[in-house]
Structure 1
Amino acid sequence: MRVTQNITYNTYINDIMRRQESLYKLSKQLSTGKAVNAPSDDPVKTDKILTSKSILSGFEQYDRNMDSALDYLNTSEDAFASVKDVIMTLQELATTSATGTSDASSRANTAVTVDQLYQQLLTIANTNYDNKYAFAGYETGTEPFDQTGNYLGDTNSYQVRVNSSGYMTVGVNGGEVFKGVNGGVDIFQTVADLATALNNNDSAGIQAAGTNLESAFQQVSNAVSDIGGRITRITSAKNDLSSARLDVETMIGTLEDADIARVISELTLGQTALEAAMSSAGKVISVNIFDYL
């Protein structure tokens, strides 16, 4: 008889504890708004949620990479716009000085201005972005150009990762834009040649430098166009990433978020059922106790 009473008692107690645990989980869901608050709540969903959040973390890094790339490209674009302004000024000076009305004295005075513009170009070419030299390739800790216009950087152009399987070239190599590596115009040499021709009162040399400045202007314009294309591609990649991130966030919400209306309904029903179970258990246990008196 006592064994039967113990079994009955344990059955009631286990039932009450089970209902209390269920109510605890529902209360937790109501307070957090999450259907899954611990791995034990749903191991399969937990694994999917953790995997999706890891993907989101990667997306955030890609987004930071692209923001940094856009900042760099905008800085480069502004720098090259300034270079174009300087070159146009130099072209005007070369055109004016190449005429027969310019004498040796005026040309010498113009050479002083050209030297100043040379230094301005040098400052732009050594643009520092985020404590790194923008046009030095991978040698970002070293000024890419010395006072004589020699290029001290390398031939690399840095890249950023924009998704799980792709990189995009962002860096603009100073050797190509300013020194004409791979068949272009050496802008610094051209400006230096113009200054020399002016000081030597060399009309032919001034005209030759003016012609090279036209090529230099086009060389920088091509770099600006290339930067514009990179900005467009990165902006497009950011938009794609934003769309993908929204999809993953939606999936996480579907897996993780609780249906609050359902939780409240189940919580109400569960509380009523628990009260009924406790009342029933109380009566049975009370009767069993009196059997021993």
Structure 2
Amino acid sequence: MRITHRMIADTVNVNLQQSLHRLQQRSEQLSTGKSFHRPSQDPVGTNRVMRYRDSINRNECYRLNISEARGWLQATEAALMDGLDALQRIRELCIYGANGSLAEAELLSIAEEVHEFYRHLVGVGNTEYNGLYIFGGHQTGSPPYWEGAAGIEYIGDEGQRLLEISSHQEIVMNLDGLRAFGGIELMKAVSAVQEALTAGNQEALSGQALSGINEGIDLLLECLSEIGARQKRLEVMDDTLFEGDTQLKQRLSEVEDIDIALVITEYMMEEYAYRAALSTASRILQPSLVDYLS
């Protein structure tokens, strides 16, 4: 087989282009930190990267939902604690007013204090979080408790606000007013204490009125326990998602990120090979007919 200068030149050119392509690949990897940039370079790796990123994005959405639910539950817990403090003070006033040794003026003064706590409890029932009324069920755009000519009314509903915290789990992040305060029963119990104090009815203060307040305290304690259980569930779920997120990002890095030290070494080897190929090509292709004629 006859070897011509043209054949040598073509072969050298192909080899130089291949060497330059490998050098360019290593340079691109070093500049971006990624092992591949197009699906055609690694179809299997591309598929794995897409799945990992999809899982990471879903986990981030779940963790955002958990953060939202935590804020809502913390606001609910604070409101219930506020209401519990008020009820415990009303209970003390109820017992104090039932001892039978107080003058009418003193009872009226206590009744006025209880009335202020009543108004405070109505405000607790209308607590807002991020511009939404937390005890209104689905009716979060307007105050769930409204006091008109007929007395206090609950105009919310029993709607549950659900948030997805994993692919197969949801959590209820709210308590409606019917669950938290028995609708208007808690407010009616406080009103009963005020009426008994105004009327000087020691029997009611030590009996039915006090019983209503005790039931209200038990209800709020039960609701606080329920809120605490939900918060614990969110905490556990958030930890699980965080650990899963960390593992997914590690797997993603193993697939798409380069080993810097290894790629630098490969780059230097490719650069050396390319320079050597250039030097060899210049020597092989240097002789020509002009050289022989001269």
1:58-117 CA-partner distances (Å, limit 9, x unpaired): 111111111121121111111111111100111111111122213433322222111111
Mapped contact 1:136–1:144 kept (Cα < 8 A): yes
Deviation at 1:11, TM superposition (A): 2.4
Q: Does 1:41 align with 2:41?
A: yes
Question: Normalized against structure 2, the TM-score is what?
Answer: 0.91
SS of the counterpart of 1:102?
coil
| Cα distance change of structure 1 residues 41 and 288 upon mapping to structure 2, 3 Å threshold | farther
Match of 1:20 in 2: 20
SS of the counterpart of 1:138?
coil
Matched letter for residue 155 of structure 1: E
- What is the total number of aligned residue pairs between the two structures? 289
Q: Does 1:189 align with 2:177?
A: no
| Cα distance change of structure 1 residues 214 and 289 upon mapping to structure 2, 3 Å threshold | farther
**Following superposition of structure 1 onto structure 2, how do residues 239-250 of structure 1 map, counting pairs within 5 Å?**
239-250=239-250
Match of 1:177 in 2: 180
Match of 2:30 in 1: 30
Question: Normalized against structure 1, the TM-score is what?
Answer: 0.91
Match of 2:89 in 1: 89
Q: 2-side partners of 1:290 and 1:258: how far apart? A: 50
Q: 2-side partners of 1:232 and 1:60: how far apart? A: 19
| Cα distance change of structure 1 residues 40 and 288 upon mapping to structure 2, 3 Å threshold | farther
Mapped contact 1:59–1:241 kept (Cα < 8 A): yes
Q: Does 1:205 align with 2:204?
A: yes
1:162 alignment partner, one of 144, 165, 171: 165
Percent identity of the aligned residues?
26
SS of the counterpart of 2:145?
coil
| Cα distance change of structure 1 residues 177 and 46 upon mapping to structure 2, 3 Å threshold | same
Mapped contact 1:151–1:179 kept (Cα < 8 A): no
**Structure 2: runs of 5+ lacking an equivalent:** none
Matched letter for residue 96 of structure 2: T
SS of the counterpart of 1:242?
helix
Off by >4 Å, runs of 4+ in structure 1 = 1-5, 288-293
Q: 2-side partners of 1:103 and 1:261: how far apart? A: 89
Deviation at 1:241, TM superposition (A): 0.5
- Aligned CA RMSD, in angstroms, stands at 2.2
**Structure 1: runs of 5+ lacking an equivalent:** none
Mapped contact 1:73–1:227 kept (Cα < 8 A): yes
| Cα distance change of structure 1 residues 13 and 220 upon mapping to structure 2, 3 Å threshold | same
| Cα distance change of structure 1 residues 292 and 102 upon mapping to structure 2, 3 Å threshold | farther
Q: 1-side partners of 2:164 and 2:8: how far apart? A: 65
Match of 1:281 in 2: 281
Deviation at 1:3, TM superposition (A): 9.8
Deviation at 1:156, TM superposition (A): 1.5
Matched letter for residue 176 of structure 1: R
Matched letter for residue 49 of structure 1: V
**Following superposition of structure 1 onto structure 2, how do residues 216-231 of structure 1 map, counting pairs within 5 Å?**
216-231=216-231
Q: 2-side partners of 1:289 and 1:102: how far apart? A: 130
SS of the counterpart of 2:152?
coil
SS of the counterpart of 1:157?
coil
Deviation at 1:281, TM superposition (A): 2.2
SS of the counterpart of 1:150?
strand
Deviation at 1:28, TM superposition (A): 1.9
SS of the counterpart of 1:37?
coil
1:26-75 CA-partner distances (Å, limit 9, x unpaired): 11222333222333332221221122112111111111111121121111
Deviation at 1:243, TM superposition (A): 0.9
Matched letter for residue 138 of structure 1: H
Q: 2-side partners of 1:98 and 1:273: how far apart? A: 100
SS of the counterpart of 2:200?
coil
Match of 1:260 in 2: 260
Q: 2-side partners of 1:168 and 1:150: how far apart? A: 28
Q: 1-side partners of 2:237 and 2:170: how far apart? A: 11
Q: 2-side partners of 1:221 and 1:272: how far apart? A: 76
